[in-house]
Amino acid sequence: MTPENFISEGEQDILKELANIGIGNAVTALSSMLEEQKVEMEVPEVMVAPLQDVPESFGDPENLVAATFCEAESPDIGLVLVFVLPFEAAQNMAKRIMPENMAGENEASEQIDDMEQSLLMELGNIITGSYLNALSFMTGLTFQTSPPKLGIDMAGAVLGTVIAETKTVDDQLILLKTELYVEHEEIEGSIMILPDSGSLQKLVEGLGAV
């Protein structure tokens, strides 16, 4: 699943630029959300990949993950933006975001409760919104977005859940592997940009790749 199989060098460069702008937006927003905690973020890998190959990039297809996703539409382009975290990392992030007076209440729980789900949707909304703002900046397009949703499932099933609840029909997507550091603790995740039919090429062209 190498990027060279699907996009040109120029397209690869423009997607890296998108990743860098998205990182800047996300770190600014997350730093505010996490108050005094130091936040850093990197995107070491950017690729266009077939849908069927993506679950393997999360590790064991039977591992639990939490995915926050929303739909975004402009007059010419339809997208679904997804932020995926391993289940344990999602729990960790929810507890970091939780107000101090509630932080110890669910410390021993292996579940994600309603409050934590709400916080994860807020986190995912910040991450996906940061990349959508980067897309808007680079293409000049205005996107209308749906409210975020949260899916918790095995890695092999969560992508199917996203596709079933949206109108994604293209067989390729943009995948940005992420490394998020909060107080130097590394949290690995992925950002996926799933285009509807015909939107991937329009998006790449709109970003200025040749």
pLDDT tens profile 164-189: 888 776 788 888 988 999 888 888 88
Report residue 61's pLDDT band, with 50, 70 and 90 as the boundaries. Answer: confident
The pLDDT score that the predictor gives to residue 10 is 80
Q: Say if residues 60 and 164 touch (Cβ distance below 8 Å).
A: no
Give the DSSP H/E element, type plus range, for residue 164: helix 155-165
Could you tell me if residue 3 is left (phi over 0), alpha (psi between -120 and 50 degrees) or otherwise beta?
alpha
Query: Which domains are delineated in the chain?
Result: 3-206 (3.40.1550.10)
pLDDT tens profile 76-88: 888 999 999 999 9
